[in-house]
Structure 1
Amino acid sequence: MTVIGSPTPVSIDLDSRYALARKIAKEAGERALQMFRNRATLEIEHKGVQDVVSIADREVEGIVRKYVSEAFPDDAFLGEESAGSASAALSNERVIWVVDPIDGTSCFLNGMYAWCVSIGILVDGEPAIGAVFDPNSGELFHAARGQGAFVDDVRLNASSARTFREGVLGVGFSHRVKPAAFIPFLDRLLGEGGMFIRNGSGALMIAYVAAGRLIGYYEPHINSWDCLAGIVLVREAGGVTNDFFANNGVLRGNPIVAAGASLYPELIALIEGEAVPARVG
């Protein structure tokens, strides 16, 4: 049995949580797919600019929460739909499940396939487990600290690209950031001969970085439930991410930078030296 321990007498069973995260991601994703196919009947609310939620988000989050509470009643839970009731007390919890039931809700509601279920687990403040399930492709991206990253049973390796001309960079944007703070980055990327894609699901694009399908990913502000699972995936696939969890990133969000190890310094330089210390998985 793999455990993650601290000086405290109680160790954390990583393997059981890893197995459960994979199981939940698939089952919750299959339920979400059923609702996706009948999305015309769903009730929709608008939470803000380009921020919508449907009954599907809440139902899928409820499925995940139920599994977690039954299997690990002492673990904390932070879901996108319940984040408003979260507090800084989470920082005192040893194990926190961080969940986006449907990342890419706008895509989901508009009949596009770029959405997924994202489940990440923090253990003693460190990203330890990630599971991202894409119900439309049937692909399960998953990783646990020290065990490598996989899509289904195939091991993942981040891209070995050294320049932006060697592949496509994923980007994300929300109106929590002023456009004027982001557009110059795109101009510099294109000036380097690079190209970018934004598909509407940060969790899925970060998983693609782990798989080497994208050479990297940058978003000036993202929430933890959209990227925690992906951070584990990228690090376990040999890639690099910034220290997303600085300054209470779990609750407040932060920029996310992820790339293959060779390209990461170049990506940081392109972002013009933001305070994003690198950490190799």
Structure 2
Amino acid sequence: MKLPDLDARFAAAKKMVLEAGEIAMASFRKPEMLGLRSKGLHDPVTEADLAIDHRLRQIIAEYFPEDGILSEEIGGSNARNLWVIDPIDGTQNFARGIGHFAISIAFVSQGRCEIGVVYNPATGEIFSAKRGCGAFCHDERLAVREPAGPEDAIIDAGYSTKLPVADYIALLGRLTAAEFGFVQNGSAAMGLAHVAAGRLDGYCELLLQSWDVMAGALLIEEAGGWVSSFSANDDLTQGKAILASTPSLQARLIEITGIGAGA
């Protein structure tokens, strides 16, 4: 069986996010150009989301026609070689002119994420990783931070409207009772990238989709962190909980959140 050319796909992923970023920034902080509409409660979509999705699909179909595609806006199905993309993760931030959002692209081969790229065009930061080669922000190699303990740690605790709000409030209560600090910044891809960069010490969310997670999770693994197994169910079209952290906090956060036990 011929293995996919990871070097070519890694280079392509980094070029694709830059082109996608240009599309996003063309309407960022320009309400008249957003074309904003709602897919559900606090789940907006803009013309930029759709335009980026369309353009990324065009590029992948042209250069890697045998690869599958799974994206937030169009969906897709599992494939042996699969691109998992979120055109804009943090669309609510993007639509409100808040510069905390990202284009997230991952390449998954035989169920394992091999490439992850997360790009915030508002700040110009591009985070990238190829399995076994480390994680980087531009040319700077990333490493997770090791806090002194919970009182020195900040966790990004994402919120899903698809679950009861009481579950989220209970999660925050357990985190604060254990002396962890928390934020909720509105972009899982960026939250995971910031854990990899040592800016945050963990990320948790009770329900996420693969396009939110795959690229950022690889960044953390390649930066020396730990991530609960997201693809263990072998179906990337189904959402599940996610927990990521620095190694020293792993056991305590599993205990508190209930995510990743046995992983």
Deviation per residue, 1:9-35 (Å, 9 max, x gap): 311211110111111111111221112
Give runs of aligned pairs for residues 200-239 of structure 1, distance below 5 A.
200-239=186-225
Q: CA RMSD in A?
A: 1.3
Match of 1:101 among 79, 87, 96: 87
CA distance in 1, matches of 2:87, 2:193: 16
Deviates more, 1:234-243 or 1:160-169: 160-169
Q: Which amino acid aligns with 1:69?
A: A
Say if 2:62 is the partner of 1:70.
yes
Structure 1 position 197, deviation (Å): 0.8
- For 1:119, the equivalent position in structure 2 comes to 105
Partner-residue secondary structure (3-state), 2:74: helix
Cα–Cα, structure 1 residues 263 and 81, in superposed 2: closer, same or farther, change >3 Å? same
CA distance in 2, matches of 1:30, 1:136: 10
Partner-residue secondary structure (3-state), 1:251: coil
Q: Which amino acid aligns with 1:38?
A: K
Q: Which amino acid aligns with 1:211?
A: A
Cα–Cα, structure 1 residues 276 and 63, in superposed 2: closer, same or farther, change >3 Å? farther
- For 2:51, the equivalent position in structure 1 comes to 59
Structure 1 contact 222–255 (Cα < 8 Å) conserved = yes
Structure 1 position 249, deviation (Å): 4.8
Structure 1 position 164, deviation (Å): 1.7
- For 1:3, the equivalent position in structure 2 comes to none
CA distance in 2, matches of 1:68, 1:115: 22
- For 1:134, the equivalent position in structure 2 comes to 120
CA distance in 1, matches of 2:119, 2:27: 16
Partner-residue secondary structure (3-state), 2:132: coil
Say if 2:158 is the partner of 1:172.
yes
- For 2:134, the equivalent position in structure 1 comes to 148
CA distance in 1, matches of 2:106, 2:89: 13
Match of 1:24 among 16, 25, 30: 16
TM-score, with normalisation over the residues of structure 2?
Answer: 0.96
Gaps of 5+ in 1: 1-8
Partner-residue secondary structure (3-state), 2:233: coil
Q: Which amino acid aligns with 2:62?
A: E
Q: Which amino acid aligns with 1:73?
A: P
CA distance in 1, matches of 2:135, 2:159: 26
- For 1:193, the equivalent position in structure 2 comes to 179
Match of 1:254 among 240, 243, 248: 240
Structure 1 contact 103–201 (Cα < 8 Å) conserved = yes
Structure 1 position 182, deviation (Å): 2.2
CA distance in 1, matches of 2:113, 2:144: 18
Deviation per residue, 1:85-115 (Å, 9 max, x gap): x34xx2xx22100000011111111111111
Structure 2 contact 242–260 (Cα < 8 Å) conserved = no
CA distance in 2, matches of 1:190, 1:121: 36
CA distance in 2, matches of 1:274, 1:79: 24
CA distance in 2, matches of 1:34, 1:275: 39
Structure 1 contact 159–259 (Cα < 8 Å) conserved = no
CA distance in 2, matches of 1:138, 1:189: 32
Structure 1 contact 245–254 (Cα < 8 Å) conserved = no
Partner-residue secondary structure (3-state), 2:162: coil
Q: Which amino acid aligns with 1:152?
A: H
Structure 1 position 253, deviation (Å): 0.9
Structure 1 position 158, deviation (Å): 1.0
Aligned identity (percent) is 40
- For 2:227, the equivalent position in structure 1 comes to 241
Deviation per residue, 1:109-139 (Å, 9 max, x gap): 1111111100011111001110000111100
Structure 1 contact 224–249 (Cα < 8 Å) conserved = no
Q: Which amino acid aligns with 1:16?
A: A
Structure 1 position 257, deviation (Å): 0.4
Cα–Cα, structure 1 residues 181 and 58, in superposed 2: closer, same or farther, change >3 Å? same
Cα–Cα, structure 1 residues 35 and 277, in superposed 2: closer, same or farther, change >3 Å? farther
Deviates more, 1:42-51 or 1:67-76: 42-51
